[in-house]
Structure 1
């Protein structure tokens, strides 16, 4: 186990009662759910759209689905399986059934295009997918080619209370109200039919629970090469993050979590699903973000814990009637992905007595890595290294450690850090180095540490856009834009966005014959058909040429800096069209 250096500055402000290291678990994630079902069989594991599911019922369904996947589809330990859906109980069921088998979950953004899904299938070698029925068309080509051998399909409405399905005042979009559709073809299987068959046959899973060393989940994070990279997380790395978060934030089995951040993303996966289920706590799940519904659910279920990106929190507290809401049960409001604006932090403290507990983590670290002590937080701060974590600021070129106050690359070592990138040894080698007996991960984030040992984000070493906590790599977006027949050159930059933190802007040079033939709106719509909404450009500017270096490389830094200078001189809200917002944060 990694041990922080003695007498680190932040230890002076260490939370009382929190150990400097957390003992690693000797069992895997599925063991925790089984124990919670034994301890609290009748306790609600989750609430969803007026329906509750007890721990006993959830565990029974997990075991049944796992047995069916094993018997009918031949899913074995180590097999990668795609999981693609909006937030719903079926997502939780599928995720933990796969973990029970020792299979590896490949969480897929439900906004992913068919092209992006095809790439993930080829990279992982997945032959089975679990997905929501409205997303089935995106997988049809893979099923027809035989790349995917089977798909297990669910309908959200099956998990909702009948009174909530089709309700006139429902805030949820049409796919959530669609009844179960008929499936044709031997490759397609209904989730409820699979559960019924397993229950009738009384099938049981062959084999015990996987251990902490078993690969559990492959969340994909985009790379500067334009291709996403799979982060190899074991049951042990995922649990290391969860267990440290529990003790740091004083969470327990009676905590009630609002689960609304997307479950395919590490923020939602860990804080809105794995953490409460590991505790035996209750999660209140929303299909997607809707501020009035969040307020109602916090009141109704006496929610105590809510983890959300700043954009979601800002939206929530901008509601006109929020001061009339009973939010007294809410004791912990936390998140990351972007700094919380000072004005909003002040409102939370003065009007609601809440401090937004800012934290820092990455897909590569299973979310929880740094956090502010609850009793002594600093605003717009990444916090301090949490139990078992050692972080340093180094020179990006020499990797020499830098003194407090100087800006350098944040590197980190801890039990929650991934094993490496899936089938990408070159990227893994570039991302890690060893020093003082520790294996450090290079985050690519430029930061500094103050005299108290608190870390602050300064910039990004890598060329990356942070849209509501989701990473967008310009090279990937540019690669897609170049497929448009009218585009000669393209450069993608970040634009400040009060809601999302940053959004995507494309500077485009059209081919001479195409100038005046393509509008900004048409190109934005084209991009959204081929990329997840949060990746697709929300803003487009046509230019005559792009600046280049002597070797012909587009000077993206120059373009980025020029835009920022213009934005400072004339606020974007007064000059630029309003950026389209993405539902990804929900």
Structure 2
């Protein structure tokens, strides 16, 4: 259950870190029945007041390339699989993606080779993010490094192999899977996500909700099934995604079975 507060909070968080501009245009290809597509490529452009170019098939590389070129789209979201498809498509000319200034990936780990091939062919930065449906969905994202011309210092916004820093208004905590006690930086454990974008709970399932959510230090935390660690700068690295031991995993398993059993 994602409240209006959850949605607006996540929209503001993403808009701030991506520095959405008045002249931006979103290339929207992700399905709206997923939180990634609904929040990031539908609701956020509406709230930010920027135009959206919609395409119903994210695997149609040439159609998407033509739409980006024709309407001068500057931002696009995708998955590692889709970026690999675009990089290897012989009919997708590199100039078609020329207007893009950023591509953000999620919904799974970004393959380093895919990111490298995409950037080499299209000359567009690929930024990996992280989140869950239960977090509306974005929890963190890598960002382009920023040169501060006042002090002539570089603010590091991304680190290869990580999923970036927690969004403003949210935080990560790495804990022991059994005791939920905090672990030191560099030590892998269960990833907890706390902040304004954490869901209210699972619909009509208070028992599962109680197992997936905890209240600590004045925040509501979502207990992910992911294993990861934080470095000293706050960048999160996901080591393993294992849903078998958490409440969310049971929910996903139920949904997967229900989907497979549809005629």
Aligned partner of 1:165 in structure 2 is none
- Alpha carbons 2:188, 2:239 under 8 Å: kept: yes
- Alpha carbons 1:409, 1:461 under 8 Å: kept: no
Aligned partner of 2:153 in structure 1 is none
Aligned partner of 1:276 in structure 2 is 45
Is 2:136 the partner of 1:351? no
* Larger-gyration structure (1/2): 1
Distance 1:423 1:472 in 2: 12
Question: Deviation string for 1:20-64 (max 9, x for gaps)?
Answer: xxxxxxxxxxxxxxxxxxxxxxxxxxxxxxxxxxxxxxxxxxxxx
Aligned partner of 1:247 in structure 2 is 16
Write the mapping of 1:564-575 to structure 2, written as runs, cut at 5 A: none
Residue 220 of structure 2: which of 439, 453, 459 is its match? 439
Q: Is there any run of 5+ residues in structure 2 with no aligned partner, and where?
A: 146-156
Structure 1 residues 284 and 405, CA gap change in structure 2 (3 angstroms): same
Residue 404 of structure 1: which of 175, 185, 200 is its match? 185
Residue 160 of structure 2: which of 357, 372, 379 is its match? 379
- Alpha carbons 1:341, 1:380 under 8 Å: kept: no
Structure 1 residues 473 and 431, CA gap change in structure 2 (3 angstroms): closer
Structure 1 residues 472 and 255, CA gap change in structure 2 (3 angstroms): farther
Is 2:75 the partner of 1:294? no
Aligned partner of 1:46 in structure 2 is none
- Alpha carbons 1:412, 1:440 under 8 Å: kept: yes
Distance 2:172 2:94 in 1: 42
* Secondary structure class of the residue paired with 1:359: strand
Write the mapping of 1:110-509 to structure 2, written as runs, cut at 5 A: 232-289=1-58, 290-375=60-145, 376-463=157-244, 473-474=252-253
Distance 2:225 2:209 in 1: 13
Structure 1 residues 404 and 295, CA gap change in structure 2 (3 angstroms): same
Aligned partner of 1:82 in structure 2 is none
Distance 2:62 2:251 in 1: 29
Structure 1 residues 476 and 389, CA gap change in structure 2 (3 angstroms): closer
Aligned partner of 1:538 in structure 2 is none
1:423 deviation in Å? 1.7
Structure 1 residues 476 and 428, CA gap change in structure 2 (3 angstroms): closer
1:371 deviation in Å? 0.9
Structure 1 residues 411 and 292, CA gap change in structure 2 (3 angstroms): same
Structure 1 residues 433 and 473, CA gap change in structure 2 (3 angstroms): closer
- Given the two structures, how large is their TM-score scaled by the length of structure 2? 0.86
Distance 2:253 2:132 in 1: 18
Distance 1:417 1:474 in 2: 21
1:292 deviation in Å? 0.8
* Secondary structure class of the residue paired with 2:97: coil
Distance 2:2 2:18 in 1: 23
- When the two chains are superposed, the root-mean-square deviation of aligned CA atoms in Å is 2.2
Structure 1 residues 294 and 476, CA gap change in structure 2 (3 angstroms): closer
* Secondary structure class of the residue paired with 2:96: coil
- Alpha carbons 2:84, 2:118 under 8 Å: kept: no
Distance 2:212 2:129 in 1: 22
Aligned pair count? Answer: 247
* Secondary structure class of the residue paired with 2:192: strand
- Given the two structures, how large is their TM-score scaled by the length of structure 1? 0.40
Distance 1:353 1:277 in 2: 28
